[in-house]
Amino acid sequence: MRFYLQSLKPEDFMQINQSVTLAGVYSEPIDFTNEELDVTKTIQDVLEVMSEDQAIYLYGMNDTFRYLLEEGKRLQSVSKQAALIVPASEQGFMAVKASKRMGVPLAVGSIFQLEQAAVALQDQAALLFINLEKVGRYTDSIQVLKEILSVAEQPQTENIVAVCSNLEQVRQAMRVGAKAVCATPRVYAQMIYGTASDADLSVAREEWLLTYARHDVVE
């Protein structure tokens, strides 16, 4: 399994990465809007706590072909570990095809149906992000994920990331064959410590730090 964290906070990454080896982090556009984050500084802050084989995936702030390409190149100039997520649209797919010739990896998000995923797979997008909560507003998201996984060739299934908003979605995604999932810090805490209350989770973390990590802090 490959695990991605839906958070751009270094402290969240460090905490979860102690127990779960993360493949990288993922964000929605609203993450930057709500917190008024600076893209470059945010990337640099997260990179400081990452290893070289972990990646950052950020949604583009525009949906036009040329802008997406430029934004993808700009992210790569900040760090080779940072990649842009483009929408599953005509403009997004054009950007993915063009980016292959330029050596700029692009992922595809905003996927709501099988046909969009099939095009992204054919265009060899770096990753496909399937947001189960958003897809679930219109149809059975787990069924859509199952259909997408069924048409992907074996190596490609590892590049299809199920973005889960709760622990039950993680379980369902795994049951239908997902090899990669993305979740919030809260969901990972439940995966690690069980479905405990916030107070119980806080106590469990404190106990873990005191028992296993304190000598690292002292050293």
Domains of the chain, start order:
2-218 (3.20.20.70)
CA distance linking residue 7 with residue 162, whole number of Å: 15
Q: Which residues of the chain have pLDDT under 70?
A: 32-36, 195-206, 208-219
Helix boundaries (H) for 130-194: 132-135, 141-151, 154-157, 167-175, 185-193
CA distance linking residue 72 with residue 91, whole number of Å: 14
Question: Tokens in use for 11?
Answer: 């402290």
Q: Is there a contact between 58 and 75 (Cβ–Cβ < 8 Å)?
A: yes
pLDDT at 61: 78
pLDDT tens for each residue of 61-77: 778 999 999 999 999 99
pTM: 0.85
CA distance linking residue 141 with residue 173, whole number of Å: 9
pLDDT at 155: 85
pLDDT at 39: 81
Provide the angle, in degrees to the nearest 10, between the axes of the packed helices 39-47 and 65-78.
40
Q: What phi and psi, each to the nearest 5 degrees, are found at residue 133?
A: -65, -45
Closest CA to 7 of 40, 46, 41, 36: 46
pLDDT tens for each residue of 115-127: 999 999 999 999 9
pLDDT at 98: 92
